[in-house]
Amino acid sequence: MPELVEKALERVTRCQCDTDSGCFRCIANPRSEDRASKEATISLLNEIRRVFLSQVPVIQNFLEKDGNYEDDEQVACPSCDHIIKSNAKFCSECGTKIEENS
Ligand SMILES: [Zn+2]
Ligand SMILES: [Zn+2]
């Protein structure tokens, strides 16, 4: 989907036609009587693209966080001292319920 937006944006911005209503190579739809504004289309596509781009770091952060979590967040069971993941709800050794402390 981001690639499609990128391509559409490129097609509209690179088109050499000089009217705001565009031409058939960029935004004008030959099957539609509606005339879109080229300028409006570009800003709309830019907006969509910005949303896509801003979503990428969020996804990456989430994955990184999740990965680190698995590696170093460990706690000892209060009942039997068995080392378990801090996000575990119960001790895998004795079954004691683990209180969340974060
Ligand atoms: Zn055009
Ligand atoms: Zn335990």
pLDDT 10s digits, 37-89: 888 888 988 988 888 877 666 556 655 655 554 556 788 999 999 998 888 88
User: Is residue 97 one of the residues assigned to a domain?
Assistant: no
Ligand having the closest approach to the CA of 94: 2
Cα separation, 68 vs 8, in Å, equals: 38
- Number of structural domains (the chain) is 1
User: In this structure, is residue 95 part of a structural domain?
Assistant: no
- Measured from the alpha carbon of residue 15, the closest ligand is 1
26 lies in a domain?
Answer: yes
Distance 5 CA to ligand 1 centre (A): 17
Let me know if residue 93 belongs to a domain. Answer: no
Residue 90 forms part of a structural domain = no
pTM above 0.95, yes or no: no
* Identity of the residue numbered 75: V
65: in domain? yes
| Amino acid at the residue 91 | C
DSSP element (H, E) containing 76: strand 74-76
Domain membership of residue 42 (yes or no) is: yes
Residue 98 lies in a domain: no
